[in-house]
Structure 1
Amino acid sequence: METDYDQLKAALKEPALNAKLFSSQFGLEAKKHRILTNGRASRYPYPENLRSRQYNIYLNSGFTDDMMDFETSPVVGAKNAVRQLKMLEQIVISQLHSDERLWPLSMAPGPTYQHDLEYLKTAFTKSWDQETHDYLGKKYGIVQEILGDVHVNFSLDSSLINELYQRFYSNRYANRVDFQNHLYFKLAQRFCLYQWLFTYLYGASPVSKDMPHSIPDDLQLPVRSLRCSDYGDDNWTNEQVTYATFDQHFTELQNFMANGTYYSMKEFFGPVRLRRHNHDTRDITGALQQGINYLEFRTFDLDPLSRTGISDDTINFLELVLLNSILTPLPDDLPARLVEAKQRNNEVALQKPKDQLPWMHDAAMELIAELQNFIVEFNAPREYQLALKFVQRRVDDPSLTLSGQLTDQLENGDLLSFGLKIANDRYTKNINFQHPLQAISDVYSDDIQRLVRAAIELGIQVKLQPTQVILYVGDHIESYDAQAQLDFSKGARDLVLADFPEAKQFQEKID
């Protein structure tokens, strides 16, 4: 991607374009176990009021029924994305039994590994997805499939992409879609070069005392992140896809899908997936023809120190790296650098949490200096400066990283007591919230919060706007004033179903 970076930088300082630069959208996906207060896997059925799983884009079960999947709609800014995740988590916690909790770590608790793996292999009631479930379980095994994590979905402002294409790239790419595809791929490549730094900062799966695994006997635990290492959530060595070039990446993906190695794009476990919203994950050609419009980052362990599993600061730092990547050329020896970066990531993931090799500090500080210049040059909002300061402190002191802090919480070689304390505290806090959806209580009346909550439970889509809430199913749209008072004499669910009778068919029949 040949670029006159000086001209590009000058353009991005123009007020209108600068505002678009900092208008990226984020969607978050989190996977957490429902457990019992003794650390065993919950054997309670998937919550009855959330049984719209075939249609619900926000709440679902994962590889097992005890694994809760949360997914937020794309919104501008980290704070808004995390707010939506808080809202979804409050809904789920309100549906838990009194002895159920959400486990805050990527690795399941020891008692689950000790006693529940055989049960979990068949604890799955989404009959419409049974074939895929059985295929993945047989190929990768229950241990890999029940890892918790957070995926961050990122998209640039579409008008920013359009203006960049029109002003700088229209003579180098056949059309806007081709430019957009290559721009997103460049951002993915840049992330891969620094994946090791994200593992250093946010790796949080240091131990697996009771987890059956294939790690070498001589590997000393705790490490920084088992999940982010070569022993974690990855494709088999001979089934991995390169990021060396755009054509190689998508050719390998298409070949693996054509010959049955991958059942769909969802079986590609690389650090970044290039995706198109609401597009068939088996149709890569169609996605490229219509345009990649977001990146899915898969490398984040659950952050147990953040209420939802990921913090605003983490997302803001990711955004900072990606925005700076627009303005930064790729290295000439990119294929070799990508191979080195993957090796570095595994090395960092399997280090002792408070260790740091000299190259790590030097390389991190070089990037931090680059990002600091970006913040100043483009007058980035204050939250990006705060996120970068947070990163710099963790680079200077490994004990402040997530894994560094978790190491101090180990008891008898595991994190069971620590995880249960957090799970209990968050359960108690959530059930004692004063509002139906505490995270949005500053903008919407309690009645509107109840309406939104019921709509999400039923599988109806929701748009939160400053002065109103919009609910919709397909082309059927209803809007409600943000401060409306509603008649819930028959309950919130009945009110929503009266407005959206078609949602009745979304509900699973319970035996």
Structure 2
Amino acid sequence: MTVTQLNFEQRLEALNASTFIKGLAQSRRGVEREALRIEKDGTLSQKGHPEALGSALTHESITTDFSESLLEFITPPAIHAQTSIEQLQDIHKFVSDNIDGELLWPMSMPCFIEDEDSIPIANFGESNVGKMKSVYRVGLKNRYGSMMQAIAGVHYNFSFSESFWAHWAALHKQEHTQEQVAQDYFSLIRNYRRTCWLIPYLFGASPALCSSFLNNKSHKMKFEKVGKGTYYLPYATSLRMSDLGYTNAEQSALQICYNELDNYVRLLREAMQTPSTRFAGFAAGEDGNWQQLSHNILQIENELYSPIRPKQPTLSLEKPTDALVNRGVSYIEIRALDLDPFSATGISSEQMDFLDVYLLTCLMMPSEQLTPDTIAEARDNMDAVVLEGRNPELCLKEHGQSVKMRDWAKSLFEKFESVARLLDKANDTERYSQAVGTQWSKICDPDQTPSGQIMSTLLADDADNSALGLLLAKEYADTYQKLSYTHHQESDFAALAEASLKAQQDIESEDDKDFATFIRDYYAMEQA
């Protein structure tokens, strides 16, 4: 069957049809929000994951990430952004009421941490799968340091409906299949990779960091100082996304690209099977010593640091690439978002509305194949914006040519405005256009960005990042206390916690092999 090639304008006209409008209204989104537990003085909590919250191994909405202190809240797929926010609020209320007076740190970059060894690695119990999760995190500490792993962010999960994909396939004279959906998600992802420098500009909220984060870190950044010990770059947007933060220089050599699912899977699997000279010195089970899961570039596929991932929910012990091969792409995960420190939930419904517009625009634009040059160009553009995004003279590279960031943003926003009207029509609202208008004001005035607001506050008061974070943490604790439950009651969360603890016990009792054999069998499992 010949695939019909359409440009943005042709797709925009087609999507205004009633069949597409109904499908667009059925899109789903969800949020994964991370937050460090801190004591009232701002220091990192040294307490284990509270039993009242349930098992971090098996709970469906409250778990931990790298550290016992790094909570992660997960909302299920929802039709409306406001539903996701309300679900997050419910989780925040329950957690805040059950962490014995501790607070949730509202910023992405950690603070009040003088020693990496004071960051407790997450404990998932005595089962083989629980031990595997913990050893993986020990490996992350040895490979990259604990401080980097204590950085918190927000992941935004988004999927189009099956109805939408069926009509999209028909529009392009394709058969609606699992392979077609994956191919089109990858088209979206490629355009996201080219333009995702926009994300740290609009939503980056880590222009400054505490001096403790820089301890023993080599860098070439020309920091300035504010307050007693806060370092910043004048035009930075998201130091979390810089080489200081949640990135991995060794992985950049992998050239993971998104031209097609088969190639993406092959490159990821190769990284899991390729020995790393850098990590060879850490034990991977020799004489029972587990400093990491393997000596390879990636211990598991989730170790790949990327601003976006194609996702398919995994079955028990199923590798993410096997899930993708077996069942295709179910949704995409946006991973370039800092916590919004001006939101009690770390993300707002208006931000989610804009992301919906942005992602649909990425799908609607023609999407060329990525090359090593365009991958490098996208990476350089991201690096430039995270360090100098608020510089009004900043230039990026588009197709090898220098272009002012603002001019490129203007051309994108012209498309966003059209797509926002489309989503407004699909959802009988004006909020998508309003969300685009709010973000456009940040392009016009960098001081309106979260990073700009943070720096204005710190510089006006000669204040520390830590003081601002602690002030907001205490304010939000009061906010959580006053919230009323919307979708779940306290008793519901208590029941979920109890059920998760029982599920962990069941998993532990069912183990029938030693840990070394379990890990060997995991890596030897036949690939899909």
Please give the range of the TM-score, normalised by the shorter of the 2 chains. 0.7 to 0.9
Taking structure 1 as reference, are residues 273 and 333 closer, same or farther at Cα in structure 2, changes over 3 Å only? closer
- The reply to whether residue 243 of structure 1 matches residue 288 of structure 2 is no
Q: Alignment partner for residue 219 of structure 2, among 215, 220, 237?
A: 215
Q: How does 1:433-444 map to 2 (within 5 A)?
A: 433=483, 435=484, 437=485, 439-440=486-487
Match of 1:400? 448
Are the equivalent residues in 2 in contact too, given 1:102–1:423 (CA < 8 A)? yes
Cα–Cα, structure 1 residues 284 and 307, in superposed 2: closer, same or farther, change >3 Å? same
Match of 1:184 in 2: 185
2:491 is aligned with 1:451: yes
**Is the contact between residue 177 and residue 289 of structure 1 (CA under 8 Å) also seen in structure 2?**
no
1:290 aligned onto 2:327: yes
1:250-284 per-residue CA deviation (whole Å, 9 max, x = no partner) reads: 32112112333222221111111111023456251
Q: Which amino acid aligns with 2:264?
A: H
| 1:139 matches 2:143 | yes
Matches within 5 A, 1:71-150: 71-98=74-101, 100-109=102-111, 111-112=112-113, 114=114, 116-122=115-121, 124=123, 126-127=125-126, 128=130, 129-150=133-154
- Aligned counterpart, 2:26: 23
Counterpart code for 2:149: E
Aligned equivalent of 2:243:
230
Higher relative contact order (CA 8 A, sep 6+): 2
In 1: Cα distance, 2:49 partner to 2:34 partner: 14
Q: Percent identity?
A: 25
Q: Structure 1 residues 313 and 355 mapped into 2: Cα distance closer, same or farther (>3 Å)?
A: same
- C-alpha distance in 1, partners of 2:385/2:471? 28
Instruction: Give distance in 1, aligned partners of 2:151 and 2:81.
Output: 24
Indicate whether 1:360 and 2:400 are aligned.
no
Aligned partners of 1:125, 1:251: CA distance in 2, in Å? 30
Output the CA distance in 1 between the equivalents of 2:52 and 2:309.
Answer: 32
- Structure 1 residue 428, shift from structure 2 partner: 1.6
From 224, 247, 258, the counterpart of 2:273? 258
Is this contact kept in 1: 2:257–2:370, CA < 8 A?
A: no
Tell me, yes or no, if the aligned pair for 2:31 and 2:155 is still in contact at 8 Å. Answer: yes
1-side partners of 2:358 and 2:480: how far apart?
33
Asked whether 1:409 is paired with 2:411, we answer no
Structure 1-normalised TM-score? 0.81
Give the deviation of 1:331 after TM superposition: 4.6
CA distance in 2, matches of 1:342, 1:453: 41
Q: Secondary structure at the match of 1:69?
A: strand
- 1:274/1:295 contact within 8 Å kept: yes
Question: Does the C-alpha gap of structure 1 residues 336 and 330 become closer, same or farther in structure 2, counting only changes over 3 Å?
Answer: farther
Q: How many residues are treated as equivalent by the alignment?
A: 452
Taking the aligned partners of 2:465 and 2:182, their CA distance within structure 1 comes to: 42
Cα distance, 1:457–1:333 mapped onto 2, change above 3 Å: closer
Q: Which runs of 5+ in 1 are unaligned?
A: 441-447, 461-500
TM-score w.r.t. length of structure 2? 0.79
- Residues 101-125 of structure 1 show CA distances to partners (whole Å, capped at 9, x for unaligned) of 100001112x22x2x4222155646
Written as runs of structure 1 = structure 2, the 5 A alignment for 1:161-176 is 161-170=165-174, 176=177
The residue identity in structure 2 corresponding to 1:265 is E
Residues 296 and 130 (structure 1 numbering): CA distance in 2 closer, same or farther, change over 3 Å? Answer: same
Opposite residue 118 of structure 1, the aligned amino acid is D
Once the two structures are overlaid, the 10-residue window that deviates more, 403-412 or 296-305, is 403-412
**What is the rounded CA distance, in whole Å, between the counterparts of 1:504 and 1:282 in structure 2?**
20
Moved more, 267-276 or 423-432: 423-432
Q: Check the 8 A contact 1:63/1:145 in 2, yes or no.
A: yes
Q: In the alignment, which residue of structure 2 is the partner of 1:429?
A: 479
Cα distance per residue 1:384-414 (max 9 Å; x no partner): 1011001110000000001000102326563
Contact persistence 1:266–1:281 (CA under 8 A) = no
Work out the CA distance in 2 between the residues paired with 1:346 and 1:192: 13
Alignment partners' CA distance in 1, 2:422 and 2:77: 28
Q: Deviations over 1:329-355 (max 9, x none)?
A: 125786544432221110110127565
